[in-house]
Structure 1
Amino acid sequence: MVERVDSGTATTADGADAAHAVGVADAPEQGAPKRRSRWFVRGGSVWTRGRVLAGFAALTAFLLAFPRAVPNRPGHPGSLLEAFLPWLGLAVVPLLVLALLRRSATALLALLLPAAAWAYAFGGLLLPAPEPGPRDLVVVQHNVSDVNTDPAGTARALAGAGADLIALEELVPAALPVYEKALAPEFRFHEVRGTVGIWSKQPLSGTRVVDIRPAGIAEGWSRGLRTVVHTPYGEVAAYVVHLPSIRVGVSGLASARRDESAHLLGRAVAAETVAKVIVVGDLNGTVDDRGLSPLTSQLNVSERGFALSFPASLPLARIDQVMARSATVGRMRTLPATGSDHLPVAVRVALG
């Protein structure tokens, strides 16, 4: 029997409180998990999770900002990093995915560091080209490949690029007459030394070989020339060069001969008496590569355009370069593929 009392509280026949019984029924089941705040997930809060990811983000930013902190011997790991330095920014993508999966605010904020470092180092390359000036020379650089099966087609493509100067490397004897014939109508003046050559719409003089042979290479190896271009804006000393190739192996980057050749070229440029200088060629290195510092330390480089030129089938790096002294190198751009394993690059050099 249930007895109702004045307070409205019902009790069972054995004195149990009915209201208490109802409360027990409404309570959560025994052992049910407590509801967590949205600021906490398994393994800690959004601010304490993802510290390892944040560390990787900070390391990526450090390498982008200070690549020369990586030692360059043995195996030249520093030069290897610098050769592909812009691609290091892609590390942000997997780090971002992992940070989101981990729901880590710390890792997400840390990703701002490599993003800012990449923007500082390479963001300027994305900016538009400066307006053409009245004292510009259009320079085209191309390693035409010694196994190019269509030198005539390559020559026609280069002739139609609107250049004032064309620099070519890997000119083999069998293909040289083809280039000379195809380029002659537009470029009245040209000089070839060894496997490198220059074609110009303006007169050339004082052409000579530039010896950039590293130690141990046979005397017949000739990959450098120097000439003077008589432009309407004054004399320009032009160097066309092809530095030794580098190899990537299990031991790292084999670039010692390239570096030695760059040192010899840098010494020749430093001794050049003509005020304005243009260095054009396949340097087998990017402008970030410390192996080219004998050149980049004294010459201006392009600060606009990535112009990735090698390999032509999947361009990963710009190893075809145009540098200048007492002149400004404009935006670098690539031209359509030819029969070579390199893409041609073109740039305006402002002599004003």
Structure 2
Amino acid sequence: MRVFVTGGAGFIGSNFIRYVLESTSDVQVTNYDALTYAGNRANLAEYEEDPRYTFIHGDISDPERVADSIKDHDAIVNFAAESHVDRSITGGTDFMLANVVGAQVLFDAARKAEIGKFLHISTDEVYGSIEEGSFKEGDPLEPNSPYSVSKAGADLLARAFNVTYGYPITVTRTGNNFGPYHFPEKMIPLFTTNLIDGGTVPIYGDGSQVRDWTYVRNNAEAQWLILNEGEPGEVYNVADDNEMTNKELTYRLLELFGLTGEEADARITHVQDRPGHDQRYSVDPTKVHALGWKPRVAFDEALESTVAWFRDHESWWRPLKEAGATQRRGLNA
């Protein structure tokens, strides 16, 4: 089986590729990535000489490059995306180009090449915020940020390709991921690396926003299962069922650094909230559970191992932070 992975030099994409290469012996993976600011070939450096792995530098918005590169592949998994909500608030054009136009180019090329399987990676943010209960796959999409709008647009394009062309594209919508190789502008790696340096952590508003945290290794396993066992053209929610407020998560991180009580409080800085900040995300993963997936790694173990990874890989994240990856965006927009 030959799998074409877009955005495979990014956080979730590289963890997916690593999972596939570690858990199979007869799968070949092509990593197609534009190497924008969050793409890093070092994420998969140990596989550069592996004959099962090939890297191609390319943009999914380039029709000729895409069409030429996907030849002779059996499946496509699309992780390529601009993904940081804060950045989308201060400038959404790149998100529309990468996440909507890029998806259109990729979907069209795959259809014409008659690629047998296509898995498109989306986000729980396309549903918007929910006060109680959990979103199911058929619920309306009500995205509230430029980022989530761009992802919802791609989801609807996937639906259109099934209805209009009879080309089924499977879509997954995942909760907030965390784990190794996470770009340090996102919450958990930003807070972790700040604490490693003895600094403070910036919480948006009062920190009451609720997120469902999914360990990236668990997510990679779910995506691989859905690609191989899921119903083509269906939508699958993926989440570890680890809901907590941002403030609760912050204190759990602080505790891993031996900080509790007043010492922990002293490390927290409350900053102006992000415009349009969704209060709560929650999705129902019953459909993927029915395929046989359950998260293998529990949250506490995953969070502890993630902190340990960042402690042990300072040479990976420090240059990124020095280049400005720690900036909090979306304020006063």
State the TM-score, normalizing by the size of structure 2.
Answer: 0.33
Higher strand share: 1
Query: Which protein is richer in helix relative to its size?
Result: 2
User: Higher relative contact order at CA 8 Å, sep ≥6: structure 1 or structure 2?
Assistant: 2
Give TM-score scaled by structure 1 length.
0.32
